[in-house]
């Protein structure tokens, strides 16, 4: 167990009073609240979906909401109250859809959560805070990114969606115009007097919507009474007052509208908005087939019919994500010749910018002799249907160590070439994907390549290995790089995540050149056919239901 969110002991006998403030089955908040499923909440479904409760490691928490932005809709920005902040945001747990399924219900599901966030901006004298969640709520949560209005125009009515006293989600309405005032420490407020529902502790940070269902503030202070309506007042920090500030860390505009040209922003529903198609344009080289004289890779596998028309990785047990897997090319593409002809299939991965171990989308793609990574038609960019955002980009091959960018890369609808062969894009684990020659490993023409598998001093090849040409890597122990199955280890390990062996970088680079007259190898004719130079390497893969071996 990595952490504990919170714990409690009922030392004040809240349970007997029906007043437990933490997922007690009932009676947590005042009885004059409205559940968000009640008829009075009709038409506010999207705004309700934008609102969530969070709990900190100390057991306390508040309310807040997802908020839209002009640059990258779907970026999980979370708007809340600064007085709820403690510097433990990376451990906060955000609860979405903690709502009762009935109008009089007192319990709801607590399984739809996101853990962790990063503070982007906050300011004490506006009492606002803006987080970016570590990951976007999945579509299964039905998230909505609320719109906003920074004009400062007086709302003709106000509505707050909240989690009072950690209770299931509630909604309150003031059907009259808001009042404008400044509180005791100088925070500019919209004042509301509730006609239906109230606000309580833990409602802090709850979004305050205007008559157009856009955020105009966040709940900052208030009082309530279920018997004296005149006491049901609340103050919401003005969204417009939080827009500007001394720096990006104390204002909203840099995050929600970097161009600072939008005054009124509608909300964003990712479920009803098709994801954009983002092109990924890459250049990579594999060490095995790379020729340092031509600066291209050889196409021996394709020329000998050993590149299958259907991507091989699914059949090898690789788990695709985000719509990848099953890609198919045509005989015409595989019949291409020249520098723009296919070398083999590779996998392109997009990984979470906050957690490089989390693969969010994959595509099987064709690697051309000139290093271009292209779609199944042999010429277009590799495309992903995914939100505009920053992602780590990884490229993996079934018999080479994988590579990944050192930093998240910004993807949008305009393609940008990322050349992973010349050092212009830093790679995870540092440099060292150099081309190896007969006598030594060196970067002859500043062309980085993905390492082929190798054997090092403490991981010698087993004499019983039926294919002595196989290369090895380590993942806590010696293992084969061949992707024939789990017993043969992981293909395409990412350098820096799965470090390559610390040993002579070219000790066994040339072992294929040594002839062993005593070895009976049924695949020797194929290897001899495909042996086209000092950069050749052994590869095994399942193609068409049988194992073939060769060098590319």
pLDDT in tens, 69-95: 998 888 999 999 999 999 999 999 999
CB atoms under 10 Å from CB of 136, counted, come to 20
Q: Tell me, yes or no, whether 370 and 388 share the same domain.
A: yes
Q: Tell me, yes or no, whether 338 and 224 share the same domain.
A: no
- Averaged pLDDT, 500-511: 32
Q: Is 489 exposed, middle or buried (0-12, 13-18, 19+ CB in 10 A)?
A: buried
- CA dihedral of residues 56, 62, 63, 64 (deg, nearest 10): -60
- Averaged pLDDT, 118-145: 95
The pLDDT tens digits of the residues spanning 238-289 come to 999 999 999 999 999 999 999 999 999 999 999 887 778 999 999 998 887 8
- pLDDT band at residue 427 using 50, 70 and 90 as cut-offs: confident
| pLDDT exceeds cutoff 60 at 524 | no
Judged by DSSP in three states, 544 sits in coil
Q: Tell me, yes or no, whether 376 and 245 share the same domain.
A: no
Q: How many domains does the chain divide into?
A: 2
Q: Which helix (H) or strand (E) holds 407?
A: none
Q: Tell me, yes or no, whether 144 and 259 share the same domain.
A: yes
Instruction: Locate all alpha helices (DSSP H) within 266-308, ordered by sequence.
Output: 300-303
Q: Which pLDDT does position 273 carry in this prediction?
A: 77
The pLDDT tens digits of the residues spanning 469-486 come to 333 332 222 233 333 332
What is the pLDDT of the chain when averaged over all its residues? 77
Q: In percent, how much of the chain has pLDDT > 90? A: 54
pTM of the model: 0.56
Q: What is the spatial distance between Cα 453 and Cα 254, in angstroms, rounded to a whole number?
A: 46
Sign of CA dihedral 434, 436, 442, 447: negative
**Whether the Cβ atoms of residue 82 and residue 55 lie closer than 8 Å to each other:** no
Q: Which residue has the tokens 């070219």?
A: 506
- CA dihedral of residues 405, 409, 415, 419 (deg, nearest 10): -30
- Averaged pLDDT, 300-321: 91
Q: What is the domain range of residue 519?
A: 277-550
**Whether the Cβ atoms of residue 327 and residue 348 lie closer than 8 Å to each other:** no
- CA dihedral of residues 327, 331, 335, 336 (deg, nearest 10): -50
- Averaged pLDDT, 320-345: 93
| pLDDT exceeds cutoff 70 at 446 | no
Q: Which pLDDT does position 105 carry in this prediction?
A: 85
- pLDDT band at residue 152 using 50, 70 and 90 as cut-offs: very high
Q: Tell me, yes or no, whether 327 and 444 share the same domain.
A: yes
Q: Tell me, yes or no, whether 168 and 287 share the same domain.
A: no
Q: What is the spatial distance between Cα 81 and Cα 64, in angstroms, rounded to a whole number?
A: 8
Q: Tell me, yes or no, whether 281 and 263 share the same domain.
A: no
């Amino acid at each position: 167990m990595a952490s504990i969110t919170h714990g409690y002991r009922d030392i004040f006998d809240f349970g007997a009073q029906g007043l437990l403030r933490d997922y007690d089955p009932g009676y947590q908040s005042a009885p004059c609240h409205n559940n968000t499923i009640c008829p009075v909440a009709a038409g506010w479904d999207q705004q309700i979906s934008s609102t969530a409760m969070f709990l900190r490691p100390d057991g306390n928490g508040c309310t807040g909401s997802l908020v839209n932005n002009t640059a990258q809709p779907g970026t999980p920005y979370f708007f809340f109250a600064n007085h709820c902040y403690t510097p433990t945001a990376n451990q906060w747990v955000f609860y979405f859809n903690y709502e009762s399924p009935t109008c009089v219900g007192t319990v709801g599901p607590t399984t739809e959560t996101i853990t962790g966030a990063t503070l982007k901006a906050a300011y004490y004298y506006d009492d606002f805070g803006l987080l970016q969640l570590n990951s976007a709520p999945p579509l299964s949560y039905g998230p909505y990114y609320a719109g906003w209005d920074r004009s400062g125009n007086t709302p003709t009515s106000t509505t707050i969606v909240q989690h009072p006293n950690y209770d299931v989600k509630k909604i309150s309405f003031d059907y009259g115009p808001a009042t404008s005032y400044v509180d005791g420490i100088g925070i500019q407020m919209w004042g509301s007097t509730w006609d239906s529902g109230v606000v309580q502790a833990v409602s802090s940070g709850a979004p305050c919507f205007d008559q157009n269902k856009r955020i105009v503030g966040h709940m900052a202070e208030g009082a309530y009474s279920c018997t004296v309506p005149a006491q049901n007042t609340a103050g919401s920090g003005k969204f417009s007052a939080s827009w500007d500030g001394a720096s990006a860390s104390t204002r909203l505009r840099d995050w929600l509208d970097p161009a600072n040209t939008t005054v009124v922003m509608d909300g964003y529903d990712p479920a009803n908005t098709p994801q954009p198609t983002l092109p990924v344009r890459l250049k990579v080289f594999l060490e095995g087939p790379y020729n340092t004289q031509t600066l291209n890779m050889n196409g021996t596998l394709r020329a000998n019919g050993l590149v299958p028309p259907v991507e091989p990785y699914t059949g090898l047990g690789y788990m695709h994500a985000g719509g990848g897997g099953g890609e198919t090319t045509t005989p015409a593409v595989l019949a291409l010749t020249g520098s723009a002809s296919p070398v083999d299939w590779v996998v392109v991965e997009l990984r979470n910018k906050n957690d490089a171990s989390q693969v969010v989308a994959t595509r099987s793609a064709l690697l051309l002799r000139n290093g271009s990574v292209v779609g199944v038609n042999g010429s277009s960019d590799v495309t992903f249907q995914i939100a505009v955002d920053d992602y780590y980009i990884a490229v993996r091959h079934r018999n080479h160590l994988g590579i990944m960018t050192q930093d998240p890369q910004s993807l949008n609808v305009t393609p940008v070439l990322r050349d992973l062969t010349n050092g212009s894009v830093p790679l995870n684990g540092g440099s060292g994907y150099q081309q190896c020659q007969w006598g030594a490993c060196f970067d002859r023409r500043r062309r980085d390549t993905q390492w082929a598998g190798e054997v090092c001093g403490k991981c010698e090849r087993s004499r019983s290995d039926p294919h002595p040409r196989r290369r090895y890597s380590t993942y806590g122990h010696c293992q084969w790089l061949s992707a024939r199955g789990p017993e043969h280890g992981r293909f395409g390990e990412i350098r820096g995540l799965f470090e390559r062996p610390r040993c002579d970088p070219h000790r066994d680079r040339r072992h294929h050149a040594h002839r062993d007259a005593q070895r009976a190898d049924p695949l020797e004719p194929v290897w001899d056919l495909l042996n086209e130079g000092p950069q050749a390497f052994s590869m095994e893969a399942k193609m068409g239901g049988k194992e073939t071996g060769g060098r590319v």
